[in-house]
Amino acid sequence: MADLLSTGISGLLASQVGLATVGHNISNVNTAGYTRQITNFNARTPQFNGGYYIGQGADATSVQRAYSQFLTQSVWSANSGQSRALQYAGLTAAANNAVSGSANLQTALDGFFGAVSDVANAPVDTASRQALLGKANSLVSTFRSLSSQFQQIDQQTNQEISNSVDSINSLAKSIADLNGQIARASIGGAAPNDLLDARDQAISQLSQIVGVNVSQGSDNMVTVSVGNGLPLVNGTDSTKIATANNPYDSSRLEIVGPTGSVISNQLGSGSLGATFDFRTNVLDPARNQLGRAAIALSDAFNKQHAQGIDLNGDAGGNFFNIGDPAVFDNTANTGNAQVTAKVTDVGKLGSSDYVMRFDGTNWSVTTTAGVVVPSTGTGTAADPILIDGLAITVPSGTPQAGDSFQIQPTRNAASSLSVAITDTNKIAASGPLSAGKGASNTGKGTLGNLTVTDPTDPAFNTPVNIVFTSPTTYTVNGGPPQTYADGDTITGNGWTLKLSGVPAANDTFSVKPAGSASGDNGNALALADVANKGVLDNGVTTVGKSYSQLIAQVGTAGAQANTALDAQQSILDQATSAQQSLSGVNMDEEAANLLRFQQSYAAAAQVINAANTIFDSLLSAVRG
């Protein structure tokens, strides 16, 4: 009877462990990262009794997790991809909102050039001129507002990077500490399930920030590496990463490893990798494109404005001011060379940033992406280094081998744009020359466009009298006869004049310098035409089209980011579903298990009761 009692007690204890495990599962149904636990049972070694074996009951041999390393790592990988896509989509949405928000640059451009046309219609009207200055300042404010919004997004990426590094270090320390606790708690081969779940949950959180590679070590400890193999956790030791200023641009944060080397470009997955990718592939090109448009506007408008004369009779000066390209020296430079850059040809100006390096003898130039850029020149004032519409000089100091400089031709141009004119009289609406026809002309010749081709011609301001000696011949200031046909262009000293129709003999036309307050609108018309003038990309792209390209560029990145997010979310959902089908707590299943163990517990209690009854009956028989 002792064997029956022992058998009943074993079943009671085994069922009790099963009940405890089910209760633990039910209690943690809402615990993040919890893995369903299973009680394993084994029959005790039977006792040989003559020609047969009698069973001795059962033992609860282990409580283990319903766990698959493959499914769990699939979730970690999907976590990294989804988190990266979510971060990228959020940041591109912010950039998209900036370019398509209330501070719409295209509207400001249209308003500005509309005001220029108004001045062309009333070139001496003070109100029209004042309105032009107002629209110019509004346009500048829009450029600066967009630039400021991009700068704020840049600062946001810095904050994201800093927060991510703090989280990575904290999670790495937590994983290392859990490694130690798990190793100490792994007694006799038993696994501390809840500690394992806590470690997996920490790794899952880490995988959202940066892609992880996890390998199982001894004593149930894991090694965790990130990026291109940087060991972040090794046993109970964790490696700290840190932020540091970009070696060129101190307004930018980079990530450095324990040796101080920059590892920013090695973190491709997770939200942190997305932040760097966004900064490189969306934000910087957008800021450069905006600055490129500002430079194009300033350059084209200033050049045309310089060809006119204002109400004071003076040649037009700069209408806009804009800063020169930014040049940053590397903090590791050992020489004292100073480098400057200027835009010399807007038509060749691209949207790349550059790194210029000195090898001890010669300078070489690449884009920040590492693409070699052909260059000429030695860097002196007389022989500047020429690349993509830029002239780069080293006006002072001596470079040392290994020194480098980063050049940002357009990045901050929009924020430096300003209106150079405050006096309405300084607007050079009048062309430098005016064309007229004789009052006594009897033919049908009419004046067409008077175009300035070279205002530096020494005889540019010399008055010219054109006299037709016949309908098909004319002289210029009494010179030799020249032939004429309807629609011909007459070329003078730095100008051309188009005529149409057939003049009569003795008809005259004149070209002379325009006087102050003349009411001429020749230059205002040319200024209004700057809106339609190809400036960038070797004279192909207008300022307005450049902005449209910016909108399309950011919009396309946003659309691609949203598509990627949908795809990565689907992958994560599938990976999570597969993992939870194995490891998740199912309340229906647990309820069934609870009932099963309750019944087995009660049955085992009945076995114990039966053993007790039989034993009492035996004692009574002996006493009788």
Q: What is the mean pLDDT of residues 189-194?
A: 88
**To 10 degrees, the CA torsion angle through 512, 515, 517, 518?**
-20
Q: What is the mean pLDDT of residues 488-492?
A: 93
Name 36's Cβ contacts closer than 8 Å, sequence gap at least 6: 25, 65, 66, 583, 584, 585, 586
**Closest C-alpha among 152, 114, 115 to residue 132:** 115
Q: What H or E segment, with its residue span, contains residue 498?
A: strand 495-500
Residue 53 in this model has a pLDDT that exceeds 80: yes
Quick: pLDDT tens for 211-270: 999 998 878 899 999 888 889 999 999 999 999 999 999 999 999 988 888 888 888 789
* Per-chain mean pLDDT for the chain: 92
User: How buried is 437 (Cβ within 10 angstroms: 0-12 exposed, 13-18 middle, 19+ buried)?
Assistant: middle
Quick: pLDDT tens for 152-191: 999 999 999 999 999 999 999 999 999 999 999 888 778 8
d(CA 467, CA 203): 91
Q: What is the mean pLDDT of residues 281-300?
A: 95
Q: What is the mean pLDDT of residues 316-341?
A: 95
pLDDT of 102: 58
Instruction: Supply angle C-alpha 79, 80, 83, rounded to 5.
Output: 80
Decide: 431 and 307 in contact? Cβ < 8 Å.
Answer: yes
First to last CA, the chain: 20
pLDDT of 220: 86
**Partners of 53 in beta bridges:** 48
pLDDT of 1: 41
d(CA 207, CA 209): 5
Name 251's Cβ contacts closer than 8 Å, sequence gap at least 6: 154, 158, 245
d(CA 538, CA 343): 14
Residue 29 in this model has a pLDDT that exceeds 90: yes
User: How buried is 503 (Cβ within 10 angstroms: 0-12 exposed, 13-18 middle, 19+ buried)?
Assistant: buried
Decide: 221 and 91 in contact? Cβ < 8 Å.
Answer: no
pLDDT of 624: 59
| pLDDT band of 100, cuts 50, 70, 90 | confident
Decide: 431 and 483 in contact? Cβ < 8 Å.
Answer: no
Quick: pLDDT tens for 402-449: 999 999 999 999 999 999 999 999 999 988 888 889 999 999 999 988
| pLDDT band of 517, cuts 50, 70, 90 | low
Instruction: Supply angle C-alpha 314, 455, 493, rounded to 5.
Output: 125
- pTM to 2 decimal places: 0.85
H/E/C letters for each residue in 335-386? CCCEEEEEECCHHHCCCCCEEEEECCCCEEEEECCCCECCCECCCCCCCCEE
Residue 519 in this model has a pLDDT that exceeds 80: no
Residue 373 in this model has a pLDDT that exceeds 60: yes
Decide: 374 and 354 in contact? Cβ < 8 Å.
Answer: no
pLDDT of 189: 77
pLDDT of 582: 93
Name 393's Cβ contacts closer than 8 Å, sequence gap at least 6: 339, 340, 341, 379, 380, 381, 384, 385
| pLDDT band of 483, cuts 50, 70, 90 | very high
The DSSP annotation for 273-291 comes to: HHHHHHIIIIIHHHHHHHH
Alpha carbons within 13 A on the beta-carbon side of 365 = 21
Residue 572 in this model has a pLDDT that exceeds 60: yes
Residue 507 in this model has a pLDDT that exceeds 50: yes
- Three-state secondary structure call for residue 256: strand
Query: 330 — phi, psi (to 5°)?
Result: -70, 135
Quick: pLDDT tens for 445-479: 999 888 888 878 899 889 999 999 999 999 999 99
| pLDDT band of 103, cuts 50, 70, 90 | low
Query: 552 — phi, psi (to 5°)?
Result: -65, -40
